[in-house]
Each structure stands twice: as structure tokens, then as C-alpha cells.
Amino acid sequence: MNDERDETTTPGVDWDAEAAAFDDEPDHGLQDAQVRAAWAGRLRDWLPQRPGDVLDLGCGTGSLSLLAADLGHRVTGVDNSPAMLERARAKLAGRDALFLAGDAAAPPVGERRFDAVLVRHVLWTLPAPDHVLRHWRDLLRPGGRLVLVEGVWGTLSPVGIPADRLTRLLAPLTGDVRVEHLAGDALLWGRQVDDQRYAVVATI
Ligand SMILES: C[S@@+](CC[C@H](N)C(=O)[O-])C[C@H]1O[C@@H](n2cnc3c(N)ncnc32)[C@H](O)[C@@H]1O
């Protein structure tokens, strides 16, 4: 029964159907020690140094949630795919982590506030990213940060959100905005890539 499913699925993608093989991609499952170490190093840099509360939106199978937990953070993950959530819960069994079914654009976290909102490869799929970013900003505690990993994929019909568009959207919402370009670091992807991949760390 898919009683956790809602109406906010990515157009054209059945994430429940993707879940079983999702971790086979090097940057998804982080099963290769070098790839995992590359992401762990970036997250150590992007997330607050002190252990805090991290909200991982569109958490998928929980690979980044696990790295955040390894860094000492308490993780709340949100996804609208029951099959993804099942894998995330299994991956972080025994950790200080909670996984909730819901819409990444309007996470079901009530009045809770976080030290970091972490989102990888999800924002570009959401309608009205300006409203979504404002909502995510409002989920942060003072001094908190948005950690957004995005990109533009493909050449003939590229999809994604370019870094300059995202920084323009963030400018009125946040203070310091730092962009790190990631395409040149093959270790992150398990192969050479030549499209646009980046992370934005925006502090309020
Ligand atoms: C490309 S995967 C990224 C997963 C994870 N962030 C990672 O980087 O490994 C996109 C994930 O976002 C979830 N997703 C897409 N749209 C969503 C929405 N509106 N609300 C919640 N989850 C969503 C999908 O179910 C899927 O797990």
C-alpha cells in the first residue's frame, strides 16, 4: 500500500520505481569508499561544524542523511516516495534520524527549526523555486544555512537550475551565498562529468 504517497511527484519520474536501483549510481549510493569520502569531505565543509539539526529534503535513500549523521548531526529526512523512505530508514537504522513522508516544498515539520536545510538534486524539479526557497529559509534557526546541491544536466534538452539563477533567487533571502563548482571533482561522481554541477551554501 502506498498510503504515504502524495500528489507532488516529479513530472515524468516514478521515484518508487527508481528506488531499488537508485543506489547503483556512484554518487547516489556512495558505495565506493573514495566517492563516499569525497562527499563526506564536502558535507563536513558545508554543514555547521557543531552537531545540530539537519533537514534533508527529498532525501531519497538517505545517503547524504547518513553522512550528516556520521558527522554528529541529528537528521530529519523528508521524501514523498514510500520506497525511497523505506531504504532511508533501513540505511539509518539505529541512528538519531527521523524520516517523514511529505512534500519537500512544504515539509511536515510543524514549528521545528533547523541549523541546516540540505537538498541535493530536488529543487530544480519543484514549481515556484522562489517560494520554496523562502519557505526553506524560514525553517532555519538564526545563523542557519541552506546547502543546495544542484546542476544542469544534458546538452540537447538540458534540465536543472543554473547556478547564477539560484544565486539570484537567494540574494534577497539570505546573507552570505557561496558557490562551489563540483563538475571538476570526478571523485564526487565516480567518473568525469562535463555538465554544470555545483553546491550553494547560503547563510542567513
Ligand atoms: C534525484 S533524487 C535525490 C535523492 C537525494 N537527495 C540524493 O541526493 O541522494 C530526488 C528525490 O526527491 C524526491 N522528491 C521529488 N520531488 C519531491 C517532492 N515534491 N517532495 C518530496 N520528495 C520529492 C524523490 O522521491 C527522490 O527521492
How does residue 2 score in pLDDT terms, banded at 50, 70 and 90?
very low
For the stretch 56-89, pLDDT in tens is: 999 999 999 999 999 999 999 999 999 999 999 9
- Kindly tell me the sign of the dihedral angle through the C-alpha atoms of 49, 51, 56, 61: positive
Quick check: 173 pLDDT over 90?
yes
Q: What are phi and psi of 106, to 5 degrees?
A: -145, 70
- Kindly tell me the sign of the dihedral angle through the C-alpha atoms of 182, 40, 52, 126: positive
Rounded distance from Cα 43 to ligand 1 centre (Å)? 18
Full domain range(s) for residue 119: 3-203
65 lines ligand 1 (CB under 6 A): no
CA dist., res. 173 & res. 140, Å (int): 12
How does residue 15 score in pLDDT terms, banded at 50, 70 and 90?
very high
Residues in the chain: 204
Rounded distance from Cα 15 to ligand 1 centre (Å)? 8
Mean pLDDT on 115-123: 98
CB 50 within 8 A of CB 59: no
Q: Which mutation among 122, 126, 153 tests ligand 1's pocket best, with the greatest number of atoms within 8 A of CB?
A: 122
Rounded distance from Cα 6 to ligand 1 centre (Å)? 13
- Position in ligand 1 atom list of the atom nearest CA 149: 8
State residue 8's pLDDT score. Answer: 46
Is residue 102 classed as helix, strand or coil in its secondary structure? coil
- How many distinct structural domains can be found in the chain? 1
- pLDDT, the chain, mean: 94
pTM of this structure: 0.95
State residue 6's pLDDT score. Answer: 39
Considering only CA atoms, which residue is closest to atom 26 of ligand 1? 60
For the stretch 176-189, pLDDT in tens is: 999 999 999 999 99
State residue 10's pLDDT score. Answer: 60
Q: What is the CATH number of the domain that holds 121?
A: 3.40.50.150
For the stretch 94-111, pLDDT in tens is: 999 999 999 999 999 999
